[in-house]
Amino acid sequence: MTVHLSEKKGNVLPDFLHLNDLGCESVGGKVLFATDDFFAPAENLLKKQRPAYHADLFTEFGKWRDGWETRRKRIPGHDWCLIQLGVPGTIYGFEADTSYFAGNCAPQISIQAACLKPEEVPALLARGNRIGTAASDEELRIVKEMRSDEWTSLVPISKIKSGNLEAARNYFVATSKQKWTHLRLNIYPDGGIARLKVYGTMQREWPLSGLNHLSDLVAMVNGGVCVGYSDAQLGHPGNILGPGRAKSMKDGWETSRSLQRPPILKLGDKGILLVPGSEWAVFRLGHSGVITHIEIDTSHFKGNFPDTFKLEACILSTEEENEYNAQKWTLKQGPKWNTLVPATKLKPHTRHFFDGTAIKMLDVFTHVKLTFAPDGGVSRMRLWGFPRALPDMRK
Ligand SMILES: NC(=O)NC(NC(N)=O)C(=O)[O-]
């Protein structure tokens, strides 16, 4: 079942927005095929940054648009594209962002999904720069073999609206709990969409044989997810769980400048900064486990790295997580956090590593809380450890 949230009264944002964007180009999402890329290529749908607009910018094909925009159809049918998720997983919701598409926005969309094995995905012709083109007969022949008309419908044909800022974001809930690898985005009959965000989580299978291998328990590809945070103004904390190294500040978690930051910062006895302001984010591990090695990477944050960080952990059930989440983690009776790494200074543009000797508790946990002071940005957090079952009492 799907719900088009923009039809709901009120302006409540959907819960799924804190999940990872499984289709984003920064986690390896790719467009495999599009029926038409005439005005602007479908690859723009998967860009991480917010859509841009340049009033005076025209290409030889028309007005430059930061999104996917097809020709006005003069033949029957509709346009569609195939997206390979960067991280296959369970999808909880979509955001179709139509920013700056006014007068040329696709009026309706639908989204279908499939879970395909690598051998079921034909090698499509290289996409390259597709502006000014439509799919070739050869490409159409190849995609027909994928029988993508028969995929599972996650969003039925639904109207979308164009507008500015929040009004341009069309949200859809997806309730299927299956794992998906590919999406087919249909627009009816043609037009443009700026971005498609695919909110979900990876469901990794943890084979028993792997239990003694170190895994990054919080990595997005292993099912880690951010479940709450104090500030995501300049970059979402979920970014720091992304695959590989961050390419720029854009791939990290960056808070706004803290309003509580005092003009003169004080050092405590141990050289640790004493500041009233701090920023925090809570993450659910992909599997409960014992964290034995930690990396906090401030790469690319040179004039805006946090002065100090600390890392804590706890065990939470799904119900407890939902309750704290519903209260935005502000309940006085919050989780009992255990210190893994106490307040520790950070350096600019540096990977900081901590092994078992620096980690205060080698117990099984389900959630961690990264706090930094007073504000700033971090590009990656890696929490290597061993997946372990929870103690019986908490199962
Ligand atoms: N001004 C426009 O945006 N026109 C057309 N689109 C582009 N990108 O030029 C169109 O009508 O679809």
Provide the pLDDT for residue 363. Answer: 94
Q: Which is the closest atom of ligand 1 to the Cα of 63?
A: 9
**Local confidence band at 67 (pLDDT 50, 70, 90 cut-offs):** very high
- b vs e for 314-327, b when ≥16 Cβ sit within 10 Å of the residue's Cβ? bbbeeeebeebeee
Q: Could you identify the atom of ligand 1 that is nearest to the CA of residue 40? A: 8
pLDDT > 90? residue 267: no
Answer yes or no: is pLDDT of 165 > 90: no
pLDDT exceeds cutoff 70 at 272: no
More confident residue, 265 or 303: 303
pLDDT at 387 exceeding the cut of 50: yes
CA distance from start to end of the chain: 30
Q: 38 alpha carbon to ligand 1 midpoint, in Å?
A: 10
214/67: higher pLDDT? 67
Give every CB contact of residue 82 below 8 A, 6+ residues apart in sequence: 31, 32, 33, 34, 143, 146, 148, 182, 183, 184
Measured in Å, residue 215 CA sits from the centre of ligand 1 at 48
Give the position, in ligand 1's atom list, of the atom nearest the Cα of 72.
12
How large is the average pLDDT for residues 280-291? 95
Residue 156 alpha carbon to ligand 1 centre in Å: 27
Mean pLDDT (the chain) is: 90
| Cα–Cα distance for residue pair 20/236, rounded to 1 Å | 10
Examine the pLDDT at 271 and tell me if it is beyond 90: no
Predicted model pTM: 0.86
- Which structure tokens are listed for 313? 């952990």
Q: Report the nearest atom of ligand 1 relative to the CA of 62.
A: 9
Query: pLDDT band at residue 368, thresholds of 50, 70 and 90?
Result: very high
More confidently predicted of 309 and 327:
309
Q: What angle do CA 219, 220, 221 make, to 5 degrees?
A: 90
| pLDDT at res. 7 | 47
Best mutation site among 104, 105, 187 for ligand 1 pocket (most ligand atoms within 8 Å of CB): 104
Whole-number Å distance between alpha carbons of 177 and 93: 11
* Distance in Å, CA 21 to ligand 1 centroid: 28
Burial tier of 372 (Cβ tally within 10 Å: 0-12, 13-18, 19+): buried
Nearest CA owner, ligand 1 atom 4: 63
Atom 10, ligand 1: residue with shortest CA distance: 104
Q: How far apart are CA 142 and CA 391, in angstroms?
A: 51
**Mutational test site, ligand 1, from 54, 63, 68, max ligand atoms within 8 Å of CB:** 63
**Mean pLDDT value of segment 137-160:** 89
Query: Ligand 1 centroid vs 84 CA: distance in angstroms?
Result: 27
* Rounded mean pLDDT, 69-91: 95
The pLDDT of residue 328 is above 90: no
Q: Using CA of residue 136, residue 137, residue 141, residue 147, what is the dihedral sign?
A: positive
Cis bond before residue 189 (omega within 30° of 0): yes
Q: Among 30-39, 76-85, 172-181, 205-214, which stretch is predicted with the lowest mean pLDDT?
A: 205-214
What is the average pLDDT across 198-226? 86
Q: Measured in angstroms, how far is the CA atom of residue 62 from the centroid of ligand 1?
A: 6
Which atom of ligand 1 is least distant from the CA of 192? 12
Nearest CA to ligand 1 atom 11: 104
Q: How far away, in angstroms, is 241 Cα from ligand 1 center?
A: 38
For 103-146, the pLDDT digits (tens) are 999 999 999 999 999 888 888 888 988 999 999 999 999 888 88
Taking residues 2-14, report their average pLDDT. 60
How many CB atoms are located within 10 Å of the residue 98 CB?
26
Q: Which residues line ligand 1 (CB under 6 A)?
A: 39, 62-63, 65, 69, 72, 104
Mutation probe of ligand 1 site: the residue of 53, 58, 69 with most atoms within 8 A of C-beta: 69
Q: Give the distance (Å) from ligand 1 centre to CA of residue 233.
A: 32
Kindly report the protein residue whose alpha carbon is nearest to atom 7 of ligand 1.
63
The predicted complex's ipTM stands at 0.95
